[in-house]
Chain A
Amino acid sequence: MIEKQRVYPYIPNSDPGTREAMLRETGVRSVEELLKDIPDALRMKGKMNLPEALPAEADLKRHVEGILARNITAEECLSFLGAGCYNHHVPAAVDEIIGRSEFLTAYAGEPYEDHGRFQALFEYQSMMAELLDFEVCNVPTYDGSQAAGTSLRMASRITKRGKVLLAGNMNPDRLRVVRTYLDPVLVYEKISWSQETGLIDLDDLGSRLSSDVAAVYFENPSYLGGIEYRGEEIAGMAHEAGALLVVGVDPSSLGVIQPPSRYGADIACGDIQPLGIHMNYGGGGGGFISTKGDPVFVEEYPSRLFGIAPTSEGEWGFGDVAWERTSFANRETAKEFVGTHAALWGIAAAVYLASMGPKGMADLGEVIIQRSLYARKVMNSLPGVSTERLSNVCFKEFVADFSGTGKTVAWINSELLKRGIFGGKDLSGDFPELGQSALYCVTEKVSRQDIDRLVSVLEEIIG
């Protein structure tokens, strides 16, 4: 079982002639001699029982594409799903750039031979900071949930306090992840939210604020779609109690909605997936954390932060700022941890933001809000359907309550699916207080015709 005769295209030295020459020059008779440190008892007995290989590329292609063909995509249907992952248009230029092998296949090169990725990610940080009106942004974390969890831990380290207050209307999937990051070092309490407005209850927030609260966290727009307009008031309350304000924000809204920095947030965080990254079945996430330039904040980031520096010949040079913070430099005394996260998505977002420009982001926000307003309006005219159960002003998502139809969201969605439509995310599991409600998402890709089709199909289903 030692040296096999098959030659593998991915393994050039598998050819027997080369193999012989290398063994000879290494001074051994077989690879076995090089493995003698591994005791017999630990050696695998026999061969792994894996399916038969598909060494010919043509066979592999047929096999894998055959499996993938069983998927039905959001492009092949009409999708109103959002809830943390968004079907925005991905500019072709983005796919072109991040598909370039110089970026795709690079890893942790140094600023001398991988200058390009340092500059591209420095530019990513720079554009994100402008969008967020802050001075610092990190190289992406795994996703918006890690960004939120880490932002809260940063706030805890800065304030030296151990409790955080989380908006009761936050994204439940994100909450599950944030809890992993808080546990067991930080405790949290949920701020209750109003079932009339869909926004958090400021009286409840006030009663929970105390000298042990490190941070207040809410999302804007909220998971239920509403735009929080009392940011300044919330920031005032948090700051008066000595806590920081951390706001999770949808970056696609920032052409038309104020960034959290403008209403007093200390840390803004979120996910860059809406900025030119395919949904990838939820694998397109990349987290951002953004703050002012105060070194007290900078020193608490666990992430890579690429900075700019002069070179001996007057070029733009780049490198890691405050490396000693990171777990690469200081294992168990680091600020949390850093590793391989989502850098390529950061480059994607850089190409996206440079393509969009200031006007593009404003246009995007405007068309989204117009079309979602339209959808909310026309859906509300359906018998038994209310999109006004929550009175909040929305950006791209809103709650549609189907309770009045006597049907469940699950049933309605299965009927929609039969007609080629992915209905909104069923909220009855995570938010039972909303009855049979669904979260509908309208991006710039959903046209008036699409919305009218949804309405006419719903009309038919609900009868």
Chain B
Amino acid sequence: MTDKTRPFHQMRWNEPIIYQKSVPGQRGILIPEVEDEIRTLVGDGISSIPDTVRRRDLPNLPEMGQPQVVRHFNHLSQENLGADSNIDIGQGTCTMKHSPKINEIFARSPKLADLHPLQDTSTVQGILEIFFRVGELFREISGLDCCSLQPGGGTHGVLALASIVKAWHRDRGEDEKRDEVITTLFSHPADAAVPKVKGYKVIILPPDEEGQPDLDAFKSAVSDRTAAIFFTNPEDTGIFNSRIREFTDLAHEFGALCCYDQANANGLLGIARAREAGFDISFFNLHKTFSSPHGCGGPATGLVMADRRLAGYLPVPVVKRHEDSGLYYLDWNLPKSCGKVKEFFGVAPVVVRAYAWIMALGADGLEEASRTAVLNNNYFMKKMLQIRGCSLSYPNHPARIEQARYSWEKMKDDTGFGTGDVQRRIADFGTHYWASHEPWVIPEPFTIEPSESYSKEDIDEYLDIMARISRECYEDPETIRNAPHNSTVHHIDHDYFDDPGKWAITWREYNRKYDGYFNRR
């Protein structure tokens, strides 16, 4: 097999901080001039501002011509990879996939971008129709009944779920008693963090020897104090919890609600759903499984689907359709609603992209996406495990769904290099690699998710990069020690992020603490 790694160098502009490029007097854009008639009638306007709050100095922003602004940010963008430019399978759990270009045309259309959320609903029938249709599509995808598009991300989806759980138990007079939420160690960190924000005590189930949530531990944890369970399945080990129904049934016996974190549903479309697994509520990240681009970390959507018993507890408003007129409207009349989690109604461009993606694929295509993601993952796994120093978490459990959590424990023992070292070095090959969510549990972990967007050739190239880095760890330690070599920047000193005396979160703070290049004042 020929090594597919290629000589790469990332863009390195040594781009100054934008303030270092400021030239007094320059302008990047001009503002409309007020009309003479208005000036005559109302004067300069700013004199009307009470003296105590009138700003008389100018804010210290950079002064730049438009070409310089554009060039600066173009340079920064070139110093960023993005899924379009790299084989982004190293960001496990996050379902990096292709965002079809046609969907960008829709998302940026003035017919969407220039809508005000408080317009009369007669003028926004198009966007409301898409919101409504997306809810209908997800009834099939999840098996559940009603939809909210309000949450602005997956973690926000968890907040919506936790808020619905609270409203539900309050309505039954059981909120005081039910003060516990149960989640698992390999569920997303938000499943523990967010219920805490809603006042719950959080119980975290450890994995059993097979890597599945420990059923015995669950049996002793669940009680009439349990408000809800928050589970991911498969977890980021990629292992499907085949006894999930025992968990949800038992939770229901104790009167708890079952919440499903389907931020990543990429291995299960058309194969297994929330409904059949016994979940009452679920959320889906439209920026993961449903292809909306991640935008360096949002904007995003954590679409919520709920059983019809919970319809009245969803965030307000919900999008509905008048049976007779066929017109769409916003229904605010949910007296038991959990309230709101976000301003207005949801992140419309993300919803439209997801709609277009689903419509392009249809039922067969969605299932094909999941089946391919599963095959890609298991193909990758088979080859990855042939690489020296790498092992798989819970090796007795070979087949995985859409991702897997691996370990460099052996390589670390053999060479002293672990997952952080691989992460530094991989930047030299024009791609990216993430360790795993914390706590690591698996020593020196990394989570790989080769979604359906990646071709066999892409996966082979990534594998060759991994093989080469492993070889270097064993045979060429200097190369690893000093990596990255071909990245935008070299080794970053992390002391500057954890020491309050040293850190600088803004250029202003930097200039207060330092002179020149990190010379302490």
The segment from A188-196, A204-212, A308-316, A399-407 that touches chain B is A308-316
What are the interface flags for A282-313 relative to B under an 8 Å C-beta threshold, 1 for contact and 0 otherwise? 11111000000101001000001111111111
Q: Are A73 and B375 in contact (CB under 8 A)?
A: no
- The DSSP consensus for interface residues of chain A is mixed
Q: Contacts A354-B62, A358-B59 known; A370 to B34 CB distance under 8 Å?
A: yes
B46 beta carbon closer than 8 Å to chain A: yes
Of A61, A101, A230, A309, the contact of B102 (CB 8 Å cutoff): A61
B314 beta carbon closer than 8 Å to chain A: no
Q: Contacts A173-B344, A341-B297 known; A57 to B102 CB distance under 8 Å?
A: yes
Q: Are B366 and A110 in contact (CB under 8 A)?
A: no
Q: Are B61 and A358 in contact (CB under 8 A)?
A: yes
Of A71, A114, A317, the contact of B432 (CB 8 Å cutoff): A114
Q: Are B295 and A344 in contact (CB under 8 A)?
A: yes
B155 → chain A closest CB, angstroms: 3
Q: Are A14 and B372 in contact (CB under 8 A)?
A: yes
Distance, CA A447 to CA B195, complexed state (A): 48
Closest B residue by C-beta to A79 = B116
Which interface residue of A293, A306, A331 has the most chain B CB atoms within 10 A? A331
Q: List B4-54 residues whose CB lies under 8 Å from chain A.
A: 10, 14-19, 26-35, 37-39, 41-46, 48-54
A163 → chain B closest CB, angstroms: 15
Q: Are A373 and B45 in contact (CB under 8 A)?
A: yes
B225 beta carbon closer than 8 Å to chain A: no
Q: Are B80 and A339 in contact (CB under 8 A)?
A: no
Distance, CA A181 to CA B94, complexed state (A): 26
Distance, CA A96 to CA B28, complexed state (A): 14
Q: Which residues of A contact B135 (CB under 8 A)?
A: none
A223 beta carbon closer than 8 Å to chain B: no
The segment from B214-222, B349-357, B470-478 that touches chain A is B349-357
What are the interface flags for A163-183 relative to B under an 8 Å C-beta threshold, 1 for contact and 0 otherwise? 000000000011011011101
Number of A residues, CB within 8 Å of B? 221
Distance, CA A60 to CA B103, complexed state (A): 9
Q: Which residues of A contact B99 (CB under 8 A)?
A: 104-105
Of B38, B152, B298, B500, the contact of A448 (CB 8 Å cutoff): B38
Q: Are A31 and B69 in contact (CB under 8 A)?
A: no
Q: Are B488 and A281 in contact (CB under 8 A)?
A: no
Number of B residues, CB within 8 Å of A? 224
A9 → chain B closest CB, angstroms: 8
Q: Contacts A4-B368, A28-B378, A360-B29 known; A74 to B114 CB distance under 8 Å?
A: yes
Q: Are B349 and A358 in contact (CB under 8 A)?
A: no
Distance, CA A64 to CA B17, complexed state (A): 41
Q: Which residues of B contact A336 (CB under 8 A)?
A: 193, 197
Q: Which residues of B contact A455 (CB under 8 A)?
A: none
B277 beta carbon closer than 8 Å to chain A: yes
Q: Which residues of A contact B299 (CB under 8 A)?
A: 283-284, 286, 341-342, 344-345
Distance, CA A179 to CA B339, complexed state (A): 8
Of A79, A107, A327, the contact of B297 (CB 8 Å cutoff): A107
B76 beta carbon closer than 8 Å to chain A: yes
Q: List B134-182 residues whose CB lies under 8 Å from chain A.
A: 137, 140-141, 143, 152-156, 158-159, 163, 166
Q: Are B294 and A50 in contact (CB under 8 A)?
A: no
A258 → chain B closest CB, angstroms: 5
Q: Are B510 and A308 in contact (CB under 8 A)?
A: yes
Q: Which residues of B contact A33 (CB under 8 A)?
A: 399
Closest B residue by C-beta to A3 = B371
Closest B residue by C-beta to A10 = B98
Q: Are A114 and B81 in contact (CB under 8 A)?
A: yes
Of A227, A340, A345, the contact of B153 (CB 8 Å cutoff): A340
Which interface residue of A35, A71, A312, A334 has the most chain B CB atoms within 10 A? A71
Q: Which residues of B contact A364 (CB under 8 A)?
A: 31
B281 beta carbon closer than 8 Å to chain A: no
What are the interface flags for A98-116 relative to B under an 8 Å C-beta threshold, 1 for contact and 0 otherwise? 1111111111111111111
Q: Contacts A18-B456, A129-B508, A314-B517 known; A105 to B82 CB distance under 8 Å?
A: yes
A93 beta carbon closer than 8 Å to chain B: yes
Of B80, B118, B270, B509, the contact of A106 (CB 8 Å cutoff): B80
Of A6, A52, A307, the contact of B503 (CB 8 Å cutoff): A307
Of B39, B297, B508, the contact of A126 (CB 8 Å cutoff): B508
Q: Which residues of A contact B294 (CB under 8 A)?
A: 105-108, 340
A131 beta carbon closer than 8 Å to chain B: yes
Q: Are A359 and B58 in contact (CB under 8 A)?
A: yes
B209 beta carbon closer than 8 Å to chain A: no
Q: Which residues of A contact B349 (CB under 8 A)?
A: 280, 283
Q: Are B42 and A101 in contact (CB under 8 A)?
A: no
B126 → chain A closest CB, angstroms: 4
Q: Which residues of A contact B374 (CB under 8 A)?
A: 31, 34-35
Closest A residue by C-beta to B59 = A131
Distance, CA A410 to CA B363, complexed state (A): 43
Q: Contacts A97-B73, A105-B99, A374-B38 known; A34 to B375 CB distance under 8 Å?
A: yes
Q: List B321-368 residues whose CB lies under 8 Å from chain A.
A: 338-352, 355-368
B497 beta carbon closer than 8 Å to chain A: yes
Closest A residue by C-beta to B501 = A295
Q: List B472-507 residues whose CB lies under 8 Å from chain A.
A: 484, 487-498, 500, 503-507
Q: Are A135 and B17 in contact (CB under 8 A)?
A: no
| 16 cross-chain CB contacts under 8 A | A6-B365, A18-B456, A31-B375, A43-B276, A44-B143, A74-B119, A111-B489, A120-B77, A126-B508, A256-B49, A281-B127, A323-B498, A332-B196, A354-B64, A357-B26, A369-B48
Q: A104-B84, A135-B506 are in contact. List 8 more A-B contacts (CB 8 A).
A: A13-B452, A119-B79, A126-B19, A129-B509, A131-B61, A310-B518, A322-B497, A370-B38
The 10 closest A-B pairs by CB, nearest first: A53-B362, A282-B344, A339-B155, A282-B117, A116-B80, A344-B295, A355-B28, A229-B50, A309-B496, A343-B297
